[in-house]
Every structure is written in C-alpha cells, then in structure tokens.
Amino acid sequence: MVGKPKLYYTRGRGRMESIRWLLAAAGVEFEEEFIETKEHLEKLRNDGSLLFQQLPMVEMDGMKMVQSRAILSYIAAKYNLYGKDLKERALIDMYVEGTRDLMGMIMYLPFHPADTQEEKFALIIERGTTRYFPVYEKALKDHGHDYLVGNKLSWADIHLLEAILMAEECKPDILSAFPLLQAFKGRTSNIPTIKKFLQPGSQRKPPADEKFIAVVKELFNI
C-alpha cells in the first residue's frame, strides 16, 4: 500500500500552503513533519533529501520532490486538475502565475521593514483590485462557466480561491466590485473537499504571526 504524502516545512503557510490546498482539494490525506530548528534543516540537507538545499519538500510516490511549482504541477496532473490538453494547461499556468504573484506579495508583507509595510499593503490592494482580480472576473464572464478553464475544477480555481481568501484577510471587502468572483468564492468554498479544508481543525495554516515570523527568520537567515 502506498503511504500518504509527507510534507516537510515549517508550521506556517509559506510556499507549502498551496501544496496543502491542492492535496486537500483533491481529497488526498497527507502527513506533515515540521522543520523548526536549523539542526533539523541541516540534517535534511546533509542526508541528500533536499535537491537544492531548500524547502518545501514533499515525499510522494517514491520521490523526494522539491521546488513548489514542480510539486504543484505533479499533484495537479496526478489528480486530474490540470486541464484536458496543452492549451488548457497553458491557461491554467497563466492564471496560477497571476495568483502566485499576488499571494507572494501578501506572504512577504510581514517580512518587510515596519516603516515600509503600509506602502506595501497599499500596493497589494491596488494590484489586487486593478491588475489581478479584474482578469479573473473577465475570464469567468467571457467563459460563461463556473470554473476558469473548461467547465471543470482545476488547479487554477483552487489557487484563485486561496488567493481570494488571503486578500480578504488583508481587506475583507476587496471583492466588492467583483460579483462573479464573489459567486465563484461561494461555489468553490462549498466543494466538499475544500469545505472540509476550510473547517477549524484542518491542516490549513493561519496567517503568519510574530512567533512564526521569528522561526522563519532564524531558520532561513532572513
């Protein structure tokens, strides 16, 4: 019997959270090993587990996979969340990269110097409402289906919902001008596997707090 995927990362979101989301949406149970000390990280580096000496790592299907984009692509393809052909995959990739850009801005906000955070926060809201969310609103309108690509749940939809919820943590009414995205959020949040992941007690991680930020800075010499 093949074991559950095992995720190696810190206790926070970071670059692992989208992997947790994708596995959860696919209905795949997974285990986690939390890396919280430099000694633990060095052990993984020294035993050859980390191809490029970096986290996240996912142990799955007999592989020790690194690089978050490669891990996500593998999971999406394995669980039929990556479109039906190359054109659909290209669309999914484009939509995913857009949401990754926005989520990256939000993810790194707490790590910026305090005197720049207000400016960075304003940029997140501006980019979200003028560069990123209008694209997805238009895609849903032009496509005329419940999902971004084809008429089937894909990695792009899961990533977009994650981005929406992260953005709403910054500004709860950020979708006020995007009715189709509001409806999309409601639909996708109620997909049974995703709804389960959104419940308290799941393996979804909370926003970064001071303790998590301190651990990350120490662990990765930030």
Write out pLDDT tens, residues 159-181.
999 999 999 999 999 999 999 99
Is it the case that residue 1 has pLDDT exceeding 60? no
Residue 209 exposed, middle or buried by CB count within 10 Å (0-12, 13-18, 19+): exposed
pTM (two decimals): 0.95
Q: Residue 211: pLDDT band by 50, 70, 90 thresholds?
A: confident
Residue-level length of the chain: 222
In terms of phi and psi (left: phi > 0; alpha: psi -120 to 50; beta: otherwise), the region of 144 is left
Q: How far apart are CA 161 and CA 169, in angstroms?
A: 13
Q: For 117-150, how does the pLDDT look when each residue is reduced to its tens digit (9 = 90+)?
A: 999 999 999 999 999 999 999 999 998 999 999 9
Rounded-to-10 torsion of CA 157, 79, 169, 144: 10
Is it the case that residue 203 has pLDDT exceeding 90? yes
Question: Residues of the chain with pLDDT > 90: what percent?
Answer: 87
Number of Cα atoms under 13 Å in the Cβ half of residue 12: 19
Cβ(162)–Cβ(18) below 8 Å:
yes
Q: For 13-34, how does the pLDDT look when each residue is reduced to its tens digit (9 = 90+)?
A: 999 999 999 999 999 999 999 9
Average pLDDT estimate for 54-74: 96
Q: For 189-198, how does the pLDDT look when each residue is reduced to its tens digit (9 = 90+)?
A: 999 999 999 9
Q: For 81-114, how does the pLDDT look when each residue is reduced to its tens digit (9 = 90+)?
A: 999 999 999 999 999 999 999 999 999 999 889 8
Cα 156 to Cα 109, 159, 193: the distances in Å are 23, 5, 16
Q: Residue 116: pLDDT band by 50, 70, 90 thresholds?
A: very high
Cβ(2)–Cβ(203) below 8 Å:
no
Q: Give the Cβ contact number of residue 8 at 10 Å.
A: 22
Is it the case that residue 45 has pLDDT exceeding 80? yes
